[in-house]
């Protein structure tokens, strides 16, 4: 049995879970926030007769697995390498987690290099495996119903919907573009930004809800089933990512796979998969986003080019089968049972 300990809203983990279950493992998905004390974790391990664990995020998930004698692996999340490394105590804890971990997976070579620089002792156990992509749009999905739920009562033919997919928490920065988008909407009432995702941080969610409520041209939807989200992506004009920090955005890769243009904030995690004006468009501030978004609307040749390049990039470098092979191989290093 593999225990997967993680933020349940992380898109990266669902695919990994599928890979391990296909190899005959029984997987339990547990939110790290639900298990705070060491004794609670020990009871959980014993009660479920767990034999191995896989944690997403070196600090939030990995620190909870130390000292329990259960073999485990780590998948770097993004903020662990981009932000937590700058906090001395967290950095020390993460180094100790890597001492016990049997392997660690980085999505990119850059993430691997960052980890190896911070914790040279872990050099031999860090592997690079980009996220594999598979999209399954719901064939019964109604775009008109989606627009109605979003409070957009215009003909779908004339609309340009920009879909920002994220869990509502500060690191995703969903409010980064609302003012500039609202200005554009007042000039061109057929452009909208729809923010879709689960309410991860309740306090921040209320802030987002209040801000969106008084902002023209911006709408907020809650969490959607993955098949419906893929169908919504396929129907929208472009996908937007405005995160402050990313490991590797599953939503960006899914949009590329669905042949939808991507506009992403120019941060290391996004720039690792989006090459500007080749596989997508990168912006460094809200004003640049507005310029690029307007250009995309007016330049069908640019849209066609980045869509074709994005699709080819995903097919070549984000193979779902390659990801499956890697995780099924790595999880075998966890076999051998507790305490060995």
Structure tokens at 325: 């092979």
The whole-number pLDDT of residue 339 equals 43
Higher pLDDT, 173 or 32: 173
The whole-number pLDDT of residue 38 equals 78
Residue range 276-300: mean pLDDT, rounded: 98
The whole-number pLDDT of residue 78 equals 81
d(CA 247, CA 270): 8
**Residue that has been written with the tokens 């804890």 in this structure:** 93
Percent with pLDDT over 70 in the chain = 95
Least confident range from 77-91, 110-124, 281-295, 299-313: namely: 77-91
Residue range 159-187: mean pLDDT, rounded: 96
Residue range 334-339: mean pLDDT, rounded: 61
The whole-number pLDDT of residue 119 equals 97
In terms of Cα–Cα distance, which of 339, 279, 336, 272 is closest to 306? Answer: 279
pLDDT in tens, 99-108: 999 999 999 8
Rg (CA), the chain: 21
The whole-number pLDDT of residue 69 equals 87
Is the pLDDT at 44 greater than 50? The verdict is yes
pLDDT in tens, 63-99: 989 888 899 999 998 889 988 999 999 999 999 999 9
Residue range 2-31: mean pLDDT, rounded: 73
The whole-number pLDDT of residue 318 equals 94
Domains and CATH numbers, the chain: 2-132+320-333 (3.40.50.2000), 143-317 (3.40.50.2000)
**Residue that has been written with the tokens 């920090």 in this structure:** 245
Cβ neighbour number for residue 203 with a 10 Å cutoff: 8
Residue range 10-28: mean pLDDT, rounded: 80
How many CA atoms, within 13 angstroms, populate the side-chain half-sphere of residue 177?
34
pLDDT in tens, 228-247: 999 999 999 999 999 998 88
Higher pLDDT, 125 or 24: 125
The whole-number pLDDT of residue 8 equals 47
Phi, psi of 169, rounded to the nearest 5 degrees: -150, 160
The whole-number pLDDT of residue 27 equals 85
Is the pLDDT at 307 greater than 50? The verdict is yes
Is the pLDDT at 9 greater than 60? The verdict is no
Is the pLDDT at 2 greater than 80? The verdict is no
* H or E element at residue 310: helix 300-317
The whole-number pLDDT of residue 42 equals 87
Is the pLDDT at 264 greater than 90? The verdict is yes
Alpha-carbon dihedral sign for residues 136, 142, 147, 151: negative
d(CA 122, CA 171): 27
The whole-number pLDDT of residue 218 equals 97
Residue range 44-58: mean pLDDT, rounded: 89
Cα distances (angstroms) measured from residue 321 to each of 130, 134, 138: 11, 10, 22
| Residue 155 binned pLDDT confidence (cut-offs 50, 70, 90) | confident
DSSP string, 36-81: -SHHHHHHHHHHTT--EEEEESTTTTGGGGTTS---EEEE--SHHH
103 has which bridge partners? 73
Percent with pLDDT over 90 in the chain = 70
């Amino acid at each position: 049995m593999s225990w997967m300990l993680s933020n349940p809203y992380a898109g990266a983990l669902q695919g990994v879970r599928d890979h391990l279950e296909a190899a005959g493992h029984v997987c339990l998905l547990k939110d790290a926030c639900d298990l705070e004390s060491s004794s609670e974790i020990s009871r959980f391990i014993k009660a479920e007769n767990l034999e191995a664990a896989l944690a997403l995020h070196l600090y939030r998930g990995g620190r909870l697995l130390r000292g329990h004698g259960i073999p485990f692996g780590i998948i770097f999340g993004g903020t662990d390498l981009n932000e937590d490394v700058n906090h001395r105590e967290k950095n020390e804890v993460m180094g100790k987690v890597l001492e016990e971990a049997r392997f660690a997976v980085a999505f990119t070579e850059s993430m691997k290099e960052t980890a190896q620089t911070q914790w040279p002792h872990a050099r031999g156990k860090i592997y690079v495996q980009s996220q594999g992509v598979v999209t399954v749009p719901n064939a019964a999905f109604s775009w008109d119903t989606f627009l109605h739920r979003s409070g957009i009562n215009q003909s779908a033919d004339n609309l340009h919907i920009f879909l920002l997919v994220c869990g509502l928490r500060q690191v995703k920065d969903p409010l980064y573009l609302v003012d500039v988008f609202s200005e554009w909407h007042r000039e061109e009432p057929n452009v909208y930004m729809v923010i879709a995702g689960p309410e991860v941080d309740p306090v921040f969610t209320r802030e987002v809800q209040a801000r969106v409520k008084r902002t023209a041209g911006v709408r907020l939807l809650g969490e959607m089933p993955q098949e419906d989200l893929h169908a919504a992506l396929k129907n929208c004009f472009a996908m937007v990512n405005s995160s402050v920090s990313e490991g590797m955005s599953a939503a960006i890769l899914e949009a590329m796979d669905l042949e939808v243009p991507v506009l992403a904030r120019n941060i290391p995690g996004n720039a690792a998969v989006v090459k500007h004006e080749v596989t997508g468009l990168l912006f460094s501030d809200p004003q640049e986003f507005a310029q690029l978004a307007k250009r995309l609307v007016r330049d069908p040749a640019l849209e066609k080019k980045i869509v074709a390049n994005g699709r080819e990039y995903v097919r070549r470098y984000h193979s779902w089968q390659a990801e499956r092979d890697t995780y099924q191989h790595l999880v075998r290093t966890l076999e051998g049972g507790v305490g060995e």
